[in-house]
Amino acid sequence: MTEPFALVTGTTGFIAARLVPALLTEGWRVRATGRRPRPDDLPDAAEYVPADLVADDLAELCAGVTHVFHLAGASSSKSSQEEMDRDNVDATARLLDAASHVERFVHMSSTSIYGEEKQLPLPVREDVEPNASRGYGKAKWGAEQEVWARGRQGVPVVVLRPVTVYGPGATKLLASAILDTAIERAAGLPRLAVAAEPMEQRLVHIDDLIAASLHLAAAPDAVGRAFNVVDGIYPSSHDVAAVLAGCFGMDVEVGGEGLDEDRRRRVHERMVSQGMEPAILFTPDRLRLMTKTNRNNRLSTEALDSTGFRLARTDFAAAVADNVDWYRSKRWLPG
Ligand SMILES: NC(=O)c1ccc[n+]([C@@H]2O[C@H](COP(=O)([O-])OP(=O)(O)OC[C@H]3O[C@@H](n4cnc5c(N)ncnc54)[C@H](OP(=O)(O)O)[C@@H]3O)[C@@H](O)[C@H]2O)c1
């Protein structure tokens, strides 16, 4: 049997940076890539080749690899629509052209492709016609179209569709909400205010997404299919606020507003001047993750379940507490 040799894209980012050590532990040979120079914490055992997937020749990057884990992409937190289209759709098309020889092409998509506005049958199954409402979801669906087109031509493709991913290394979404809580704690607030109307959340822990990626790279019945990846807990915004508040010794105030943006910014600057690494994204809107409604929130996990995969990080409160400890250990939050 050929030695498994993975090309992992997006390794200067959050998820792929966690996938590389997991692959090495499982005995894979790994070639990692990103646009920026080699990250300091990339394991020595991984080869690193910097490349822009939309501008550089990708033949050498893909030479010899048996598998591709394609995680590079651009999201709305940091990129314009033009960048999202280019770095998701064009990059995926070019990579597929250069890697059509692989045994498996594992593509990281997103449940944002389903959209939030048009009601889809619930729980949302992977074979539904997607209806992305926002630019990011549209770009991720555009990238998937490229994947499915190559799949029809015989490339063995597998698509993962995770929800919001949290855990060590995350810098956006739940991470920003954790930062918001730390800011209000540092400002001396005893309670974390959350909007009165509860809003259902959907999350998955990074460890489970990495385990699902490894599992689907080998599962015999995964080729040609898409898989929702969600922890199935669906906490309300009030539940999430209670967990976050608990990590910082605060109570929850349902219906309150919290600090305004200016005050939050000033406290954040003070935290950074006192030695906190500004690694977690500060968002002008506090608890932004918990302000978006989604009528298609509930997702079917029948497809992933049918492959024999089981999630491990299903104690949400414990996982968030571990995550906060990790941020403190890296000084991404004050100790
Ligand atoms: N994080 C989530 O909650 C979440 C949820 C669902 C789906 N996803 C999907 O999962 C994947 C990974 O997400 P993430 O949060 O780890 O992303 P991230 O931290 O924003 O990292 C994005 C990565 O993509 C690379 N990249 C972007 N454009 C590129 C290009 N033209 N050429 C080469 N590399 C390029 C970046 O490289 P440089 O930084 O070096 O420029 C970086 O390594 C993405 O496809 C995302 O859509 C993420």
For 216-258, what is each residue's pLDDT tens digit? Answer: 999 999 999 999 999 999 999 999 999 999 999 999 999 989 9
112 CB under 6 A from ligand 1?
no
Atom of ligand 1 nearest to the CA of 162: 6
pLDDT at 1 over 60: no
Could you report the per-residue pLDDT of 309-325, keeping only the tens digit for each? 999 999 999 999 999 99
The dihedral built from the CA positions of residue 313, 202, 148 and 100, taken in this order, carries a sign that is negative
> For the chain, what is the domain count?
2
Residue 142 lies inside a defined structural domain of this protein = yes
CA 256 to centroid of ligand 1, rounded, Å:
34
pLDDT at 77: 72
Distance CA 71, CA 162 (A): 12
Q: Whose CA is nearest to atom 21 of ligand 1?
A: 13
- Does pLDDT of 143 surpass 80? yes
Q: Is the pLDDT at 53 greater than 70, yes or no?
A: yes
- Quick check: CB of 91 below 6 Å from ligand 1? yes
Output the pLDDT for position 293.
86
Per-residue model confidence (pLDDT) at position 203 = 97
- Shared domain for 141 and 9, answered yes or no, is yes
Domain closes at, from 136, 162, 188: 162
Average pLDDT on 60-77 reads 95
Dist. CA 74 → ligand 1 center (Å): 5
Residue-number span of the structural domain to which 250 is assigned:
174-201+235-292+313-329
Tell me which residue has its CA closest to atom 36 in ligand 1. Answer: 10
Which atom of ligand 1 is found nearest the CA of 52? 32
Amino acid at 36: R
CATH classification at residue 124: 3.40.50.720
Closest ligand 1 atom to Cα of 11: 43
Residue 255 lies in a domain: yes
At residue 133, the pLDDT reads: 83
Kind and range of the H or E run holding 145: helix 135-152
| Residue 51 shares a structural domain with residue 183 | no
The atom number, within ligand 1, closest to the CA of 78 reads 20
| Dist. CA 264–CA 282, nearest whole Å | 9
1 Cα to the center of ligand 1, angstroms: 31
Do 318 and 196 belong together in one domain? yes
Rg (CA), the chain: 20
Question: Does position 260 have pLDDT exceeding 90, yes or no?
Answer: yes
pTM for the complete prediction?
0.97
Mutation test of ligand 1: which of 82, 108, 146 has the most ligand atoms closer than 8 Å to its C-beta? 108
Q: What is the pLDDT of residue 233?
A: 94
